[in-house]
Structures are given as structure tokens and as C-alpha cells.
Amino acid sequence: MNAIEASHLIKRFGSVTAVNDVSLTVCEGEIFGFLGPNGTGKTTTMRQLTGVLTPDSGAVRINGIDIHRHPLEAKMQMGVIPENSTVYGDLSAEQNLSLSGQMYGMPRADRDKRIDEFFSRMGLSEKRKLPVRGFSKGMKQRVSIACAIIHRPPLLLLDEPTSGLDVQSRRLVIDTIRDMNEQGSTIFLTTHNIEEANTLCQTVCILNKGKIVAQDSPERLKKMFNTTQSVEVSFDRPVTRDLFAAEGILRAESCGDKWKIFTDNPDQVLKYLVGRAERESITITSLTTSGPSLEEAFVRITECA
């Protein structure tokens, strides 16, 4: 059985069609990445999948249950971390988790056991009785995730879960996603972070202007644009973009103290760079080549559509 089956979802707000005939299937046990530029309908789609919004047409089934006909039974199957949503600041972390457990109908003993597990794992044991209002963003997000998975849902939907988090909190979130997946949960992940999607997801779906423009495994998506590779180079002194105006170079992007050069002929570019550096007495401090990236595929797909 598929964890999520969405068919022909359409959602309009006035004259704007935010989601235009979106159909997707998320297989049980997979990590599914949902990508797209800002304002493209990702959150609206996710809200329809979680039953927060009712689509103008189309249907959503969660583990075979139609969420708009049987919202409560379908919602029992999932844990949700909405974008920008937080937990109750006036309640303590423990009270927030307890409230969440009550919402999912967990017996008190199970709830208390699970809450203890979370606090020892999240490193928040000392703060469990304190109001969440005083927590950092990363700590709030940890509590938020704990609230969503307290009932061990077979399906976890996360909307931008790592956005704005520090490295430690981000890693904890990623580890939690991986752990949940290893324990059998299906993960639906909306993210802007292409690298995150690349390393975590078995399937990636790209949404643009309310429509799905690509859906496949990250590796297959990269191969769609196999002609484009990149060369990363850094020099001992700053150089200008003019240096990269040469045959075979499609695009050059400054990345900190390095330049990333996109090309369909890395051999030609490497020879050009070495020769040019020698002529201008510039020392190359690092030089690497890499295959097509998911980011490149994402940019190309969303530009084409």
C-alpha cells in the first residue's frame, strides 16, 4: 500500500491557481523530497496532504484512507511539522509533548515513557519543566519534532524542518528523520536545501508554478542533465568574472573564495584554466571536477518549465 496517494489536486485562491493538477505517490518506507522555488505551491500542497486545506478538486489517501472523508482516522496515521509553526510557548516542553500525546490518544503511561525517552535523547532534560517561550529556535524545533513523532506515526510530513537552524540542531533533525525512516516510517520532506534532499531522499519531486515538473530518484534527475559538469577552482588571489569568459564555459559562480564553473567539456576548461593561470602568473590553490548536481538539475528543470 502507498503511504500517500494524491490525485489531481487543484487549489485556487481567487483567480490564482496555487496547485494545478498535482498527482503524486509516496511509497511506504521511503523518504520523499518535495522541492520547488518559493511561492510555487509546496506548502499549499502539503496542507492538502495533511488535511489542513480541502482541495477544490482531487483526492488524498493516507495509507488508503481518504483524508477529506475520514480526516481523523487519516490524521492518526501521521505526524506533521508545519512550516513556521511552533509549539505552545506558554507551556513547558513536557506539557507540549503531553498535549501532543493526548491529541493522539496515547495512554498516560506510554506518554510518560515516551516523553522521558525524548528528553534524554534531545539533551533537554534540564529544561523539560521550563516554558518553551525562552528556548532557542533549535530547541523549539526539537520539541516540535518530538511532538510530531511522539505516537510513532507511520508517516511523517515535514515542511522545511531545518530552515534557519544551527548545525547541531540541523544534524539532530536529520538524524531523527533517518531514525524514523529506519524504524519503518515514511517521510515526506519539503525543503529548499537541495543537498539535504540529495543525501536523504530516495525520490525527489520538483514543483514549479503549481505543477509537478519532475519526479524521480536524485541520481536519475541528475542524469537528465548529464551534459553539464562543474569545475571548482580557487586561486591565490582574487580574480574577476572576466577570467571565465571562454569557449566551453556555460556559467561561472563565485562561491566564497572559490569559483564554480559549469561546462559540458571539462577537459577544455581545465586546459584553459591552467594555461590562463600560467600566462597571468596566478597560482591555482585547488582544482576539482564534479559530475552533474541535483542543484543544477533543479535549476534547469525549474527554468525550463
Partner 1 sequence: MEIPLALRGIIVITRKNMRLYYTKPPVLMFGLLFPLFMFFAFFVGRKLDLVTFFPAFLAMMLFFTASSVGPLITPWEKREKTYERLLSYPVTQDSIILGDVVAGAVFGIGISLLVWIASLFFIPVAITSIGLFALAFILGTLSCAALGALLASPASDSPPNVIIFSNLIRFPLIFISGIFVPLTQMQGPGLALAFCSPLTYLVDLFNAAMSGTSVFSPAVDCCMLAGISVVFILAARLIQTRNLVKGL
Where does this chain bind partner 1 (CB under 8 A)? 13, 47, 50-53, 70-73, 75-76, 78, 80, 82, 84-91, 95, 99-100, 102-105, 144, 147
Would you say 79 or 292 has its CB closer to partner 1?
79
The CB-of-84 to partner 1 minimum distance in angstroms stands at: 6
Would you say 54 or 125 has its CB closer to partner 1?
54
The CB-of-2 to partner 1 minimum distance in angstroms stands at: 20
Please choose, from the candidates 53, 51, 46, 56, the residue with its C-alpha nearest in 3D space to the C-alpha of residue 24: 46
> Can you spell out the DSSP letters for 108-174?
HHHHHHHHHHHHHHHT-GGGTTSBGGGS-HHHHHHHHHHHHHTT--SEEEEESTTTT--HHHHHHHH
The CB-of-181 to partner 1 minimum distance in angstroms stands at: 20
Please choose, from the candidates 256, 257, 231, the residue with its C-alpha nearest in 3D space to the C-alpha of residue 244: 231
The CB-of-108 to partner 1 minimum distance in angstroms stands at: 13
The CB-of-85 to partner 1 minimum distance in angstroms stands at: 4
- In 102-136, which positions are buried (b, 16+ CB within 10 angstroms) versus exposed (e)? eebebeeeebeebbeebbeebebeebbeeebeebe
Would you say 86 or 289 has its CB closer to partner 1?
86
The CB-of-254 to partner 1 minimum distance in angstroms stands at: 36
Q: Cα(272)–Cα(178) distance, rounded to whole angstroms?
A: 43
Would you say 27 or 103 has its CB closer to partner 1?
103
Q: What is the DSSP letter of 292?
A: -
Q: Cα(53)–Cα(159) distance, rounded to whole angstroms?
A: 15
Would you say 76 or 246 has its CB closer to partner 1?
76
Would you say 94 or 296 has its CB closer to partner 1?
94
What is the identity of the amino acid at 157? Answer: L
